[in-house]
Amino acid sequence: METGQRDDVDICVLGSSDTEATWDSSADDRGGGSESYPRHNLTWVGGEVISEGTWDGSQAKAHQEAGQLHPSQEKMKPEQEEARPPLVPVKGIPMIKYFAEIYDEVESFEAHPDDLLISTYPKSGTTWVSEIIDMIYKEGSLEKCRVQPIYMRVPFLEFAVPGVPTGIELLKEVPRPCLIKTHLPVQMLPKSFLEKNCKVIYVARNAKDVAVSYYYFYQMAKVHPEPGTWEEFLEKFMDGRARHFLDSFPNYRRIGLENPEREIRKVMEFLERPVDENLVKKISHHTSFKVMSQNQMANYKSLPSSVMDHTVSPFMRKDLQFQLSGLIIVLVGNYGI
């Protein structure tokens, strides 16, 4: 089925497969964990900013295996303002209060032509796709990918929580080219993404699956209002009062699900990266639900419970299993509003 298709829109789908990918983890090139990688000034989202330092991969791995946070991250205690504030409408779209407060700054964000925007509705596989693309950019290096959590490697454009660096602040520090995550509908995106013809990867998921995942996410992510009962939340979701769903990229066509390895190849081709089959298998393995749910640099367990309470519901729920009943849509060039 095709809807609103345009010539300047390329489409690829990241789906799922019942066949688990195989990868010999002993073949990973970790370099002995001794190499350090330069980074931007804001080394961790949290209460401490470390200037132009490095933190080697072995240190990241040691903290992860011990179930510990980096020392600076332990100080990440967002200022407690209004508990679970109500959503605030911006241009007719309900937004998290703190996100709405910085929207003017978000709207004026200046993108660069080599920036890649990962655009999704919440709970549609954003972290999965972000991890795949980051691994592609880092040529499958686990050490480089696990030096920092995903929310620092792929900053969240409109993110804001009191006492924590905003997505805009992080994006001023990350090295080029930037991977940028957003949940904004197309009409609220900074115009610079259109003007600079940035590449965009858009992810959609079956709305019924999104609603279930989003309900549990509302419960554990404390920047959201109380979701109420499932029946109450579902009514709001269907009425568009749980943030936007249908206001997304208008020009797309729908195609069927395919297996992850095939879709990783499509993304690599879209990003003009050489397709190496060993790298494809490695990325498929390390972005599987089983592996990512245990990876503290990807499962958001590194955030304090004042932001996300995993005792209420894990960020990565078993119902997801990354079997997205939706699509990844890659838009090339000026796709317009």
> Do 292 and 298 form a contact (C-beta atoms < 8 A)?
yes
Task: Give the residue carrying structure tokens 């009514």.
Answer: 235
CB within 8 Å of 326: residues ≥ 6 apart: 124, 125, 203, 204, 205, 206
Is this prediction's pTM over 0.85? no
Rounded Cα gap, residues 280 and 225, in angstroms: 40
Q: What pLDDT shows up at residue 266?
A: 82
Intervals of the chain under pLDDT 70 = 1-82, 241-258, 294-337
Tokens of 302: 């590194």
Dihedral pair phi/psi, residue 124, rounded to 5°: -115, 15
Residue found by looking up tokens 């407060």 in the block: 101
**Quick one: which H or E segment has residue 270?**
helix 260-270
Using a CB cutoff of 8 Å and minimum separation of 24, what contacts does 81-90 make?
81/162, 83/222, 84/222, 84/223, 84/224, 84/225, 84/226, 85/223, 85/225, 86/225, 87/225, 87/241, 87/243, 90/188
Main-chain dihedrals φ then ψ at residue 179, nearest 5 degrees: -100, 125
* Domains located in the chain, CATH noted: 88-205+252-303+326-332 (3.40.50.300)
Catalytic residue, candidates 70, 183, 224, 244? 183
Confirm whether 286 is a catalytic residue: no
